[in-house]
Amino acid sequence: MAAAPLPDSRRTLESIYESGVSYLDLQFTDVTGMVKTVSIAVRQLEAAVNSGIWFDGSAIEGFARVAESDMFLRPDLATFAVIPWESERRRVGRVLCNVYTPNGDPFPGDPRAVLQRAITRANEMGYRYRLWPELEFYLFREPLDIQHPEPDDQASYFDLSASESREVRRAICDALEQMGILVETAHHEVGPGQHEIDLAPLDALDMADAVVTARLAVKAVAAQFGLFATFMPKPLARMAGSGMHVHQQLLDLRGGANAFSDPSSDYTLSNIGRMFLAGQLAHARGMCAILAPLVNSYKRLVAGQEAPVYVTWAQLNRSALVRVPRSTEGQPDAARLELRALDPSCNPYLAFALMLRAGLDGISRGMDLPTPAEEELYTFNSRRRQLTTLPTSLYEALEALEASDLANDALGLHVYERFLEAKRIEWNEYSHEVSPWERDRYLRTY
């Protein structure tokens, strides 16, 4: 594992020492996307870079069995940032890490490594993958009543809320920008207490890192205001769910041109863009368990809430799985694809990897793009036109994931099997529960 730091690493190390941090949180995610942290004194950082920091992988969800538990964290110094919500008395920094085995090989169960492998595939085909997500969440008042959470306001879409939620959003944006993550816009969403933060475009690995950081920032800053933030996809019945729509582009690796753009074609979408989109549609059902990974996710993916139900694409129809937004006048090369099935509970490393691999598969195989569905799909007449539907439950999504050869290849056998195992346990636990709705509906009647 030992290796001397490269000159660039040496300069970064020196800048970290000069930042005045006393401690560093070394962070990574498990297979389900939960952030794990090991704290070290800043004086240990060079040793961590050279030799790694040991931890027991058998204790991490989906990582390793006891017999193969030794793992090492290697910090990615480019991800260093001071954590702005930590105590001012003692500055604390954050560095994201890759996970390695004792013999120095990348650990195949590391979600960050899964995305890095997909990016390598794109680079080999001559592309960079750029993303920008719309991150939705709810703010509830403390003390939190789990059964009846109280939203922090009663505002709606784009409303100028009278509560302190505007100040909370500004504080979240400030914290993210201090960590080098730019926010393009922030606003109130449809549901009471629901908010959205739109991140500025980044390449895929940087964006996955940014999403992981943003979720921590939102929760930490909200807590400072006495509020509870949640990325649960559907925390309130009959209210809008929280999604994470992701805008995507492939850029030419050499010149940086947008490979999706062709101003002379329909929807200003190039042949590369059409094949990439066709690949994502073809693999949509197999990807769904990764993009929407909770039992609760499928209470958001229902008709009538601007969430996708059918495997379709369109330009104007906001119930389509993928939208091709209109290019702004004067920016004909800004073509992009907006995938709308994701929710903010997903592991972004796995989600972005599978999205990328699905699109690249469409390009590699020259897939044909089906006809767009611009009609209103909430009142869609299935007798008039047959459309494939997304899974309606986590169980159905896991069945589709298990049948997907692309998912197996993109995630790697280790992550593929461990994710399925963890989520089947979740589904089985849910299946054994009896909800208040069932008792209210059936107990007296039957």
- Successive 10-residue mean pLDDT values, the chain, 446 residues: 60 92 96 95 94 87 65 96 86 96 92 98 98 98 96 87 81 97 96 96 98 98 96 96 98 95 92 98 98 98 89 89 80 86 98 98 98 69 72 98 98 96 97 96 97
Predicted pLDDT at 57: 83
Predicted pLDDT at 305: 78
Q: What is the CATH number of domain 7-107?
A: 3.10.20.70
Name, in order, each residue with C-beta under 8 angstroms of 105's C-beta and a sequence gap of 6 or more: none
- In terms of pTM, does the model score above 0.75? yes
Please state, in angstroms and as integers, the Cα–Cα distance from residue 299 to each residue in 295, 303, 393, 442, following that order.
Answer: 8, 10, 8, 21
Predicted pLDDT at 306: 81
Predicted pLDDT at 328: 62
Cα gap 16→4, rounded to integer Å: 17
> What is the number of alpha carbons within 13 Å of residue 214 lying toward its C-beta?
31
Cα gap 78→94, rounded to integer Å: 11
CB 314 within 8 A of CB 376: no
Residue 143: asked if its preceding bond is cis (omega within 30°), the reply is yes
| Start-end of H helices in 188-311 | 204-224, 271-282, 284-291
Phi, psi of 409, rounded to the nearest 5 degrees:
-70, -40
CATH 3.10.20.70 residue ranges in the chain?
A: 7-107
CATH 3.30.590.10 residue ranges in the chain?
A: 116-438
Tokens of 317: 């129809």
Host H or E run for residue 362 = helix 348-364
Cα gap 332→336, rounded to integer Å: 11
Predicted pLDDT at 67: 46
Which residue type sits at 214? A
Cα gap 385→373, rounded to integer Å: 10
CB 317 within 8 A of CB 260: no
Q: Determine the straight-line distance between the first and last CA of the chain, rounded to whole angstroms.
A: 65
Name, in order, each residue with C-beta under 8 angstroms of 150's C-beta and a sequence gap of 6 or more: 140, 141
CATH of 116-438, one of 3.90.480.20, 3.40.640.10, 3.30.590.10, 3.40.50.1970: 3.30.590.10
Task: For residue 162, give the DSSP letter.
Answer: S
The β-bridge partners of 138 are 194, 230
> What is the number of alpha carbons within 13 Å of residue 58 lying toward its C-beta?
6
